[in-house]
């Protein structure tokens, strides 16, 4: 926020310094409040945190605010996050709009654009005004939902807090977070216990809850990290039915409930009941529901699997519960054997300090080895459109990095060059070496050409090609572009296909069927970029890829060891796309991967 406000008031350089510092504070292993307690010098030990920023951090922990930031907020009283959510509106634009028109909110921005006032500001124009107007609905919509990657850690923390309470028999997340949707309206939690009141009390007293929204008998809602968290407490013998009900989606529940009705059964959040002897109880969603909700003989409800089994279905993995054929598949015993987090054997898209990553090649290999991976692919940015300044590697850099990868491999215990191994490397034995491959993240230009020379690409083990520029092009152009890219003989993986940033930029909208069909034909994998800001390809695109027979690669695009942990977001997104282990390229052995690359 400090950086944005500085930038909006026309300050140069400093915003970048603040953002870099913020990033390194976030990545730092010791809690910042501990360092601040030790004083400025301890805080300034953090890379890229200078004395000035360190003193502000200490000021914040000592006084609860930063004087200079408060002054900036007064000078520029704008809803910065709301306004910059509009694509094409950065902090500088916010500053100009405030100065010229006094715009502080999204609503005021919209009114100004509609009144034609923005085009009158110098440096703006009719086209800019149109773009702003066009992008406001997306910004407004996206502001309402929380990214999975922001909500999931909150849900995990709440869940472990609740699970540790004495009176709690079982605790689970439900709702969209259990289905691993890419954005979350609110977090839903379910607890089985005979003691409702103490649990509600403990929940509203949770240290990470910023406010209580409501608290009643057996249910409560709090706000934590800006997201609403709903808790329901149910009887232990009704936990399975409640879990099934509150996991949703609504469309899935309707389909399952209809299956119950067909069998003279009644399904609700309290259980599955045989109502064949009860008059009229099969009538759905009537106002009298509350009165006859536990009517008839109970046939299931203690476990969720029991509910599905009593309906002659295999238990449906939460990620599939969107009423997209999973009810029929479960009834036919034909659910997919979904990929699991433990199936991943390596990451095919990672960065180092050779481009915009923060860690050395050896550090990243070491981190991958620590995770028990069988292989690791170094794919720094190639220079090209959309890659900032000299962040990317040109052809001579790539050759130089090849030697550096060899050096790093010789430095890291248990690392071997992937290209040299002949036994496939990395079996199930924990002592097996980690095979290291040298790749690149090349750029796909607006027309679909790869902007690195073929000769340089040919020397690499693996090429991820991604769109980083022209992300506003129309759907047909995007289709042509991506089809051409996947057909490029040296391209192995199509990286973050749309270029979307969730809640911030929609990315391109190609004809997905055409792209995945071309990828399947060309033997190019479709990436599920596991960075929770991207989740690109999304579940629907994965499903199309799997149906077309294209391989899927679940990659973190990690710029630090910690970001390798994002793999789970990619795995669950792949599961939302019905991906089986066999569909996932980096669930194959090193030998299998090499076979794919050579084929």
If you search the block for the tokens 């529940």, which residue do you land on?
253
Residue from 253, 443, 466, 589 binding ligand DGT (CB under 6 A): 253
Question: Residue 502 Cβ, how far from ligand DGT at the closest point, in Å?
Answer: 13
Question: Residue 437 Cβ, how far from Zn ion at the closest point, in Å?
Answer: 18
CB-based closest residue to Zn ion: 466
Binding mask 16-55 for ligand DGT (x = CB under 6 A): ----------------------------------------
At 310, give phi and psi (nearest 5°). Answer: -70, -15
- 556 binds Zn ion per the rule CB under 5 A: no
Q: Which is nearer to Zn ion, 268 or 466 (CB)?
A: 466
Contact window for ligand DGT (CB under 6 A) among 184-192, 235-243, 400-408, 474-482:
184-192
If you search the block for the tokens 């290209």, which residue do you land on?
419
DSSP bridge partners of 146 = 184
Question: Residue 214 Cβ, how far from Ca ion at the closest point, in Å?
Answer: 12
* Partner whose binding site includes residue 588, from ligand DGT, Zn ion, Ca ion, none (CB under 5 to 8 Å by kind): none
Alpha carbon distances (Å) from 155 to 170, 250, 424, 502, 579: 15, 21, 39, 19, 25
CB-based closest residue to Ca ion: 175
3-class DSSP state of 488: coil
Contact window for Zn ion (CB under 5 A) among 266-274, 462-470, 483-491, 582-590:
462-470
3-class DSSP state of 426: coil
Number of residues that bind ligand DGT (CB under 6 A): 13
Measured between its terminal Cα atoms, the distance across the chain in Å is 49
Q: Which is nearer to ligand DGT, 246 or 354 (CB)?
A: 246
Q: Which is nearer to Zn ion, 221 or 466 (CB)?
A: 466
Residues at the contact surface with Ca ion, assessed by CB under 5 A: 175-176, 186, 188, 230
If one counts every other C-beta atom within 10 angstroms of the C-beta of residue 358, the result is 21
Secondary structure of 498-519 in HEC code, one letter for each residue? CCCECCCECCCCCCHHHHHHHH
Instruction: Tell which residue, 285, 220, 218, 215, has the closest CA to residue 250.
Output: 285
Number of residues that bind Zn ion (CB under 5 A): 1
Rg (CA), the chain: 26
Output the DSSP codes for 435-462: EEEEEEEEEE-TTS-BSS-HHHHHTSSE
Helix (H) or strand (E) holding 25: helix 14-27
Helix (H) or strand (E) holding 146: strand 146-147
- 268 binds Zn ion per the rule CB under 5 A: no
- 240 binds ligand DGT per the rule CB under 6 A: no
166: CB partners within 8 A, 6+ apart: none
Question: Residue 185 Cβ, how far from Ca ion at the closest point, in Å?
Answer: 5
Contact window for Zn ion (CB under 5 A) among 40-48, 458-466, 536-544, 558-566:
458-466
Q: Which is nearer to Ca ion, 190 or 558 (CB)?
A: 190
Residue from 185, 282, 325, 523 binding ligand DGT (CB under 6 A): 185
Residue from 27, 68, 99, 186 binding ligand DGT (CB under 6 A): 186
Angle between helices 14-27 and 51-63 (to 10 degrees): 60
- 350 binds Zn ion per the rule CB under 5 A: no
What are the structure tokens assigned to 117, written together? 């006032």
3-class DSSP state of 105: coil
Q: Which is nearer to Zn ion, 64 or 389 (CB)?
A: 389
- 176 binds ligand DGT per the rule CB under 6 A: yes
Residue from 248, 301, 318, 366 binding ligand DGT (CB under 6 A): 248
What are the structure tokens assigned to 76, written together? 């520029």
Work out the widest C-alpha separation in the chain, in whole angstroms: 80
Q: Contact at 8 Å (CB) between 414 and 434?
A: yes
CB-based closest residue to ligand DGT: 248
Q: Which is nearer to Zn ion, 146 or 466 (CB)?
A: 466
User: Which residues bind to ligand DGT, rule: CB under 6 A?
Assistant: 175-176, 181, 184-186, 188, 245-246, 248-250, 253
- Judged by the rule CB under 5 A, the positions of this chain that interact with Zn ion are 466
């Amino acid at each position: 926020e400090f950086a944005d406000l500085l930038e909006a008031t026309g300050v140069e350089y400093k915003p970048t310094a603040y953002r870099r510092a913020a990033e390194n504070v976030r990545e730092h292993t010791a809690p910042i409040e501990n360092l601040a307690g030790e004083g400025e010098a301890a805080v300034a030990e953090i890379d890229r945190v200078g004395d000035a920023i360190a003193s502000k951090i200490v000021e914040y922990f000592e006084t609860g605010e930063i004087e200079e930031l408060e002054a900036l907020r007064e000078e520029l009283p704008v809803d910065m996050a709301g306004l910059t959510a509009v694509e094409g509106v950065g902090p500088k634009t916010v500053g100009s709009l405030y100065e010229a028109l006094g715009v502080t909110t999204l609503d005021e921005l919209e009114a100004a654009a509609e009144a034609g006032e923005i085009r009158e500001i110098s440096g703006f124009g009719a086209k800019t005004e149109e773009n702003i107007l066009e992008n406001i609905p997306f910004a407004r919509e996206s502001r309402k939902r929380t990214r999975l990657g922001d909500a999931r850690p909150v849900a995990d923390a709440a869940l472990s807090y609740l699970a540790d309470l004495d009176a709690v028999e079982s605790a689970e997340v439900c709702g969209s977070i259990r289905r691993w949707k890419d954005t979350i309206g609110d977090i839903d939690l379910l607890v089985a216990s005979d003691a409702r009141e103490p649990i509600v009390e403990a929940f509203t007293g949770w240290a990470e809850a910023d406010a209580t929204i409501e608290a009643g008998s057996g249910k409560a809602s709090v706000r934590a990290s800006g997201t609403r968290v709903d808790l329901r407490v149910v009887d232990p013998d009704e936990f399975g039915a409640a879990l099934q009900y509150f996991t949703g989606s609504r469309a899935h529940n309707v389909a399952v409930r209809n299956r119950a009705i067909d069998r003279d059964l009644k399904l609700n959040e309290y259980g599955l009941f045989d109502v064949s002897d009860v008059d009229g109880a099969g009538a759905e969603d009537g106002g009298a529901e509350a009165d006859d909700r536990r009517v008839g003989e109970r046939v299931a409800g203690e476990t969720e699997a029991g509910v599905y089994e009593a309906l002659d279905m295999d238990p449906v993995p939460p990620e599939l519960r969107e009423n997209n054929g999973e009810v029929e598949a479960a009834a036919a015993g034909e659910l997919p054997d979904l990929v699991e987090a433990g199936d991943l054997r390596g990451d095919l898209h990672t960065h180092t300090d050779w481009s915009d990553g923060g860690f050395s090649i050896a550090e990243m290999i070491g981190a991958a080895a620590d995770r028990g991976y069988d292989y690791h692919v170094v794919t720094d940015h190639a220079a090209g459109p959309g890659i900032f300044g000299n962040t990317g590697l040109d052809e001579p850099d790539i050759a130089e990095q090849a030697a550096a990868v060899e050096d790093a491999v010789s430095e890291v215990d248990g690392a071997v060059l992937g290209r040299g191994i002949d036994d496939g490397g990395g079996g199930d034995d924990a002592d097996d070496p980690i095979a290291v491959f040298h790749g690149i993240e090349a750029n796909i230009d607006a027309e679909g050409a790869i902007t690195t020379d073929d000769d340089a690409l040919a020397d690499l083990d693996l090429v991820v090609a991604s769109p980083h520029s022209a992300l506003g092009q129309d759907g047909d152009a995007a289709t042509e572009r991506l089809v051409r890219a996947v057909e490029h003989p040296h391209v192995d993986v199509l990286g973050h296909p749309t270029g979307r940033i969730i809640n911030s930029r929609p990315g391109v909208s190609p004809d997905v069927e055409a792209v995945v069909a071309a990828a399947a034909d060309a033997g190019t994998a479709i990436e599920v970029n596991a960075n929770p800001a991207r989740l690109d390809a999304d579940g629907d695109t994965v499903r199309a890829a799997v149906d077309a027979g294209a391989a899927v690669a679940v990659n973190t695009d990690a710029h630090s060891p910690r970001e390798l942990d994002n793999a789970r977001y990619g795995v669950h997104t792949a599961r939302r796309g019905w991906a089986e282990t066999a569909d996932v390229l980096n669930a194959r052995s090193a030998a299998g991967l090499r076979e794919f690359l050579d084929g």
